[in-house]
């Protein structure tokens, strides 16, 4: 491929790619995201390819392996475009039938359709599936249409048009103005206005005019994989955002700091950089404009703290990934003491969208101070696990019930944890809360990078707080005293409460330690770390008190405070629990007689409770 | 020069200075355990936190790192500041109950008895990194460093063994605020005791008075870095003219 020498030439190439493609030609798109991989999508893709080869249909049918479509719960996902027929839980064995029936004869295969669990109604088209119908997939949508290893696919859906637009004569200041006008705020957690960040960086003095651009892809929240899926599924959109950012701030070197544990993301970004360089979309004199920009990949070693901007920059410099005080902002003195603009993956991916469609269009979605959409990783006790992109201002209820399909097993919703480990829990009473930066913060939680963990009545809030504080204790870098020593003591107190050693004054001491972290910790990991404790105390204080005063775990989770018992009237002595018990604590009580549980031997693992379908095991 | 107010008093100061520097130059005491004027500020102990108000925005900052600015209003003692200091010293007292420096500071901050369970085997080290900073920035050898993360963090030599680059100068011991590092010269040997390792260094004998006066490695290092002939150290300072 020859390097493109002007924006006009880019449009010419795009036209030529599009003209060679028949919009009516059937295309079998197989989701190859993280979740579908776990379900074995690779075999499904191979089966399609083999079948097409066998039938000699290479010219008539396309098979495209795409990035994550989001509905991970029902993977492997297959969508037959352009008819938009949506199949779920597809196996390699279904490939031949899908080709012979759906692709060649236009017949829909009923058993592969998604059935709405609430109505039982089968849904044929992707956009009609309730999980997708409630979303606005501005940033994430192209994931389902393009092969991430093909730059031509990205160009075919309008890729790099925003870059072409800015390089056709828009001044860097005007680009910044447009981003400011769009109200875009950092999607990595801080929510800082992106345009203002860029402007500060552009205006920051730099002796040798060196300014750096960084893409923070060090996503580390438990259960969160938004950035991973964007990088894996649409890497060029992130590169394009970085290119526009670099042009706006006057930077010529960029870095993608991505977790080494994301091998597919690393692979796809690496390939995308190479392709963009070959097209002349990266490197010297991009599109003949005189603008130079190159991007390098730096793989992170997996420390959660390296997602913090100053720790990330230290790591990039080859130092230990520890944060520093940011009284002098990184936009002034960041990487190697040079003005640096660091944005998260999702923030960068929003940029081409704003440039293409305009700030006025962008601000139509969202709330007063939070514009656009946000991708959430919806996980936990919810029917439709997956990645959802929703307009800012949507209520928690809409996300959890309309898109997420509610709570499985007829259980009662209790709370939702947002914002990653240093986020907070939001209770049922706030289910109508509109989701945006400010409302989530007001509720005692935060937007964070977009983790959303749904919890039901079986989750103990002390246990949840203990889990997150334990996670953060393990990930604290240990530099400052409040975080290193404070989190350890908070975890000890929470251990005590959950093990029946809680005492009067524990809640107050947790609150005092929390304040010390919030006010006194060196970086945002430490200062936001108390959120899981503070929010659970705020909304579920009675649960803490039950543990401390009555030595009781209302949700039946904290092992030291519960016992399992056999309800004799309900137990027919089937013996399923005997087989499942790992500690031989349950023995037969005789034929058709209730089983006998030895409390001395019981390790409270809950295996009997899970296996008994008759409700004959109770937790108290 | 900028004008700022600390505890109601107005000061003029150079722009590059930190609040802590300006305060201590003017006799205003701010407690700290990880600060030393000879090494770069670190901001780990959080005892020097103060309240600053700038452009109407109030926040708590580490005074050892925060640069002074025009119109800055600083309060070195507020209920919020005192809560941080008190809790930090309580946490350190539980970590290093045997450290007299920590005990004294706790007493000064009104903490008389520990509220958290005491650590056994505490080594008196509060992980302030003064030793590692002085070793890197002043001595220039980086013989010691901080290893591991979070609660497992330790000050250590490579592989907890004799550090091949250590010159036995004892600067680490000199700056250690809690006396977690110490050394003793016994006969012809310097014994440097650190929390997780003890190292021995041969001392140089004065050719005139016969006194053992400095580690040989240290003298070799000085000779090399300062371009002095090693023979210059054959005689101890006391015996020189």
Q: Which helix (H) or strand (E) holds A458?
A: none
The answer to whether the Cβ–Cβ distance between A513 and B87 falls below 8 Å is yes
CB-CB neighbors (< 8 A) of B91 in chain A: 481-482, 485-486, 489
* Residue that finishes a domain, picked among A499, A522, A549: A549
Q: Out of B88, B95, B151, whose CB is closest to A516?
A: B88
First-to-last C-alpha distance (Å) of chain A: 69
| Contact status of B240 with chain A (Cβ, < 8 Å) | no
Q: Are A455 and A411 in contact (CB under 8 A)?
A: no
Domain that holds residue A125: 7-144
Structure confidence by residue, pLDDT tens digits, A224-235: 899 999 999 999
The answer to whether the Cβ–Cβ distance between B66 and A325 falls below 8 Å is yes
Q: Which of A478, A509, A515 to mutate to test the interface with B (most CBs of B within 10 A)?
A: A478
Structure confidence by residue, pLDDT tens digits, B109-160: 999 888 999 988 778 999 999 999 999 999 999 999 999 999 999 999 999 9
> Token match 């392709």: residue?
A275
- Under the banding of pLDDT at 50, 70 and 90, the label for residue A490 is very high
Is A557 domain-assigned? no
Q: Which of A368-372, A572-576, B38-42, B177-181 has the lowest mean pLDDT?
A: A572-576
* Residue that finishes a domain, picked among A87, A120, A144: A144
- The pLDDT value recorded for residue A449 is 82
- pLDDT higher than threshold 70 for residue A213: yes
| Contact status of B155 with chain A (Cβ, < 8 Å) | no
Check whether residue A378 and residue A413 sit in a common domain: yes
ipTM of model: 0.95
Check whether residue A313 and residue A357 sit in a common domain: yes
Q: Strand order in A62-66's β-sheet?
A: A62-66, A27-31, A78-81, A85-87
- Pick one of 3.40.1160.10, 3.80.10.10, 3.50.50.60, 3.10.20.740 as the CATH number of B2-77: 3.10.20.740
- The pLDDT value recorded for residue A256 is 98
CATH number at A442 reads: 3.10.20.600
What are A101's two structure tokens? Answer: 């029936």
Structure confidence by residue, pLDDT tens digits, B55-89: 999 999 999 999 999 999 999 999 999 999 999 99
Query: What letter would DSSP give residue A90?
Result: -
Give the mean pLDDT of A324-350. 96
Tell how strand A294-300 and strand A253-259 pair up.
parallel
Domains in chain B: boundaries: 2-77, 130-239
Core vs surface per residue A346-368: b (16+ CB within 10 A) or e: bbbbbbbbbbbeebeebbebbbe
Check whether residue A354 and residue A386 sit in a common domain: no
Check whether residue A452 and residue A514 sit in a common domain: no
- The pLDDT value recorded for residue A34 is 86
Is A41 domain-assigned? yes
- pLDDT higher than threshold 70 for residue A494: yes
Check whether residue A190 and residue A319 sit in a common domain: yes
Q: Out of B67, B80, B115, whose CB is closest to A519?
A: B80
| Contact status of B136 with chain A (Cβ, < 8 Å) | no
Q: Which of A325, A481, A524, A526 to mutate to test the interface with B (most CBs of B within 10 A)?
A: A481
Backbone torsion region of residue B176, taken as left when φ is above 0, otherwise alpha when ψ lies between -120 and 50, otherwise beta: beta
| Contact status of B61 with chain A (Cβ, < 8 Å) | yes
Q: How close A325 gets to chain B, by Cα (Å)? A: 7
- The pLDDT value recorded for residue A452 is 94
Check whether residue A39 and residue A107 sit in a common domain: yes
Structural domains in chain A (count): 5
Structure confidence by residue, pLDDT tens digits, B182-227: 999 999 999 999 999 999 999 999 999 999 999 999 999 999 999 9
CATH number at A615 reads: 3.30.70.20
Structure confidence by residue, pLDDT tens digits, A445-471: 999 888 999 999 999 999 999 999 999
Q: Are A393 and A440 in contact (CB under 8 A)?
A: no
Structure confidence by residue, pLDDT tens digits, A90-135: 999 999 999 999 999 999 999 999 998 878 899 999 999 999 999 9
Structure confidence by residue, pLDDT tens digits, A280-291: 999 999 999 999
Give the mean pLDDT of A369-396. 96
CB-CB neighbors (< 8 A) of B84 in chain A: 482, 516, 519-520
Sequence-distant (≥ 6) Cβ neighbours of residue A256 within 8 angstroms: A214, A215, A217, A231, A238, A242, A269, A295, A296, A297, A298
Q: Average model confidence (pLDDT) for chain A?
A: 95
Is A554 domain-assigned? no
Structure confidence by residue, pLDDT tens digits, A515-570: 999 999 999 999 999 999 999 999 999 999 999 999 999 999 999 999 999 999 99
Q: Out of A481, A512, A519, whose CB is closest to B44?
A: A481
Q: Out of A327, A479, A516, whose CB is closest to B44?
A: A479
Q: Helix/strand/coil (H, E, C) string of B72-136?
A: EEEECCCHHHHHHHHHHHHHHHHHCCCCHHHHHHHHHCCCCCCCCCCCCCCCCCCCCCHHHHHHH
- pLDDT higher than threshold 90 for residue A74: yes
Of the CA atoms within 13 Å of residue B168, those in its CB half-sphere come to 24
- For chain B, counts of helices (H) and of strands (E): 6, 11
Check whether residue A209 and residue A333 sit in a common domain: yes
A250 vs B58: CA distance, rounded Å? 33
Is A556 domain-assigned? no
Check whether residue A411 and residue A443 sit in a common domain: yes
Instruction: Find the residue in A nearest to B68 (Cα).
Output: A327
- Under the banding of pLDDT at 50, 70 and 90, the label for residue A1 is low
B104 vs A391: CA distance, rounded Å? 56
- pLDDT higher than threshold 80 for residue A24: yes
The answer to whether the Cβ–Cβ distance between B116 and A492 falls below 8 Å is yes
CB-CB neighbors (< 8 A) of B45 in chain A: 480-481
A340 vs A334: CA distance, rounded Å? 5
Check whether residue A139 and residue A280 sit in a common domain: no
DSSP A228-244: HHHHHH-HHHHHHHHHH
The answer to whether the Cβ–Cβ distance between B87 and A486 falls below 8 Å is yes
The CA-based angle A447-A33-A238, given to 5 degrees, is 60
The model carries a pTM of: 0.93
For chain B positions 1-60, those within 8 Å of chain A (CB to CB) are: 42-46, 49, 60
- pLDDT higher than threshold 90 for residue A295: yes
- The pLDDT value recorded for residue B114 is 85
* Residue that finishes a domain, picked among A526, A549, A572: A549
Inter-chain Cβ pairs, chain A and chain B, closer than 8 A: 97
A226 vs A298: CA distance, rounded Å? 19
- The pLDDT value recorded for residue A543 is 97
For residue A448, CA distances in Å to A152, A375, A451, B61, B178 come to: 34, 11, 7, 23, 39
Check whether residue A386 and residue A273 sit in a common domain: no
Structure confidence by residue, pLDDT tens digits, B27-59: 999 999 999 999 999 999 999 999 999 999 999
CB-CB neighbors (< 8 A) of B117 in chain A: 492
Check whether residue A389 and residue A248 sit in a common domain: no
Check whether residue A533 and residue A572 sit in a common domain: no
DSSP A515-534: HHHHHH-SSHHHHHTTHHHH
């Amino acid at each position: 491929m020859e390097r493109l020498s002007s924006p006009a030439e880019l449009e010419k190439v795009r036209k030529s790619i599009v003209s060679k493609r028949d919009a009516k030609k059937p295309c079998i798109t197989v989701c190859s995201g993280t979740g579908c991989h776990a379900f074995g999508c690779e075999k499904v893709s191979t089966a399609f390819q083999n079948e097409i080869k066998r039938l000699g249909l290479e010219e008539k049918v396309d098979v495209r392996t795409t990035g994550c479509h989001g509905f991970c719960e029902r993977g492997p996902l297959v969508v037959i475009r352009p008819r938009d027929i949506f199949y779920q839980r597809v196996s390699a064995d279904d490939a031949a039938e899908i080709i012979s029936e759906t692709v060649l004869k236009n017949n829909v295969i009923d058993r592969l359709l998604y059935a709405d669990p609430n109505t039982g109604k089968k849904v044929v088209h992707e956009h009609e599936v309730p999980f997708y119908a409630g979303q606005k997939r501005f940033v994430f949508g192209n994931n389902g249409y393009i092969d991430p290893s093909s730059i031509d696919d990205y160009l075919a859906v309008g890729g790099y048009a925003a870059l072409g637009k800015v390089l056709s004569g828009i001044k860097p200041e005007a680009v910044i103005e447009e981003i400011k006008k769009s109200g875009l705020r950092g999607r990595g957690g801080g929510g800082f206005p992106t345009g203002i960040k860029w402007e500060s960086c552009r205006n920051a003095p730099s002796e040798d005019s060196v300014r750096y651009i960084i893409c923070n892809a060090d996503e580390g929240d438990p259960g969160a994989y938004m950035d991973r899926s964007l990088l894996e599924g649409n890497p060029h959109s992130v590169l394009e955002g970085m290119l526009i950012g670099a042009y706006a701030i006057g930077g010529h070197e960029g870095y993608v700091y991505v977790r080494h544990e994301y091998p597919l993301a690393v692979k796809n970004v690496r390939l995308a950089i190479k392709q963009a360089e070959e097209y002349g979309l990266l490197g010297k004199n991009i599109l003949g404009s005189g603008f130079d920009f190159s991007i390098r990949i730096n793989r992170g070693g997996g420390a959660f703290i390296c997602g913090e901007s100053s720790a990330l920059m230290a790591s990039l410099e080859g130092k230990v990934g520890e944060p520093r005080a940011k009284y002098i902002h990184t936009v002034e003195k960041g990487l190697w003491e040079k003005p640096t603009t660091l944005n998260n993956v999702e923030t960068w991916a929003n940029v081409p969208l704003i440039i293409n469609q305009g700030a006025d269009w962008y601000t139509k979605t969202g709330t007063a101070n939070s514009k656009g959409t946000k991708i959430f990783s919806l996980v936990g006790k919810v029917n439709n696990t997956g990645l959802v992109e929703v307009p800012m201002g949507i209520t928690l209820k809409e996300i959890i019930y309309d898109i997420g399909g509610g709570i499985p097993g007829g259980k009662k919703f209790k709370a939702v944890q947002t914002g990653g480990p240093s986020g907070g829990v939001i209770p049922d009473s706030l289910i109508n809360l509109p989701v945006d930066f400010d409302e989530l913060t007001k509720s005692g939680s935060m937007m964070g990078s977009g983790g959303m963990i749904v919890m039901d009545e079986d989750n103990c809030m002390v246990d949840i707080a203990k889990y997150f504080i334990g996670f953060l204790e393990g990930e604290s870098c240990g530099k400052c005293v409040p975080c290193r020593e404070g989190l350890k003591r908070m975890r000890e107190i929470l251990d005590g409460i959950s093990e029946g050693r809680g005492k009067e004054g524990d809640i107050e001491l947790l609150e005092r330690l929390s304040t010390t972290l919030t006010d006194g910790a060196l970086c945002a990991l430490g200062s936001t770390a108390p959120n899981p404790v503070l929010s659970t105390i705020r909304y579920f204080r009675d649960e803490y008190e039950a543990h401390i005063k009555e030595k009781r775990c209302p949700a039946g989770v904290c092992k030291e405070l519960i016992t399992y018992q056999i309800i004799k009237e309900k137990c027919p002595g089937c013996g399923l629990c005997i087989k499942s018990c790992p500690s031989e604590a349950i023995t037969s009580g005789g034929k058709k007689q209730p089983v006998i549980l030895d409390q001395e031997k019981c390790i409270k693992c809950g295996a009997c409770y899970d296996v008994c379908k008759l409700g004959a095991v109770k937790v108290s | 020069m900028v004008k700022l107010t600390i505890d109601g008093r107005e000061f003029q100061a150079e722009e590059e200075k930190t609040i802590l520097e300006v305060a201590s130059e003017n006799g205003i005491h701010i407690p700290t355990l990880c600060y030393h004027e000879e090494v770069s500020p670190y901001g780990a102990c959080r005892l020097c936190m103060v309240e600053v108000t700038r452009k109407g925005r109030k926040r708590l900052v580490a005074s050892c790192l925060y640069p002074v600015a025009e119109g800055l209003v600083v309060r070195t003692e507020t209920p919020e500041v005192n809560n941080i200091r008190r809790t930090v010293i309580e946490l350190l007292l539980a970590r290093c109950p045997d450290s007299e420096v920590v005990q004294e500071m706790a007493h000064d901050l009104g903490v008389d008895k520990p509220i958290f369970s005491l650590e056994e085997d505490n080594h008196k080290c509060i992980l302030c990194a003064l030793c590692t900073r002085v070793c890197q920035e002043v001595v220039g050898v980086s013989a010691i460093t901080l290893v591991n993360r979070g609660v497992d963090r330790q000050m250590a030599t490579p592989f907890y063994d004799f550090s091949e680059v250590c010159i036995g100068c004892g600067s680490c011991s000199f700056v250690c605020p809690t006396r977690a590092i110490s050394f003793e010269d016994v006969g012809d040997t310097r014994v440097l005791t650190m929390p997780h390792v003890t190292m021995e260094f041969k001392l140089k004998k004065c050719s005139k008075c016969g006194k053992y006066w400095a580690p040989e490695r240290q003298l070799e290092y000085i000779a090399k870095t300062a371009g002095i002939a090693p023979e210059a150290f054959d005689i101890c300072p006391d015996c020189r003219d």
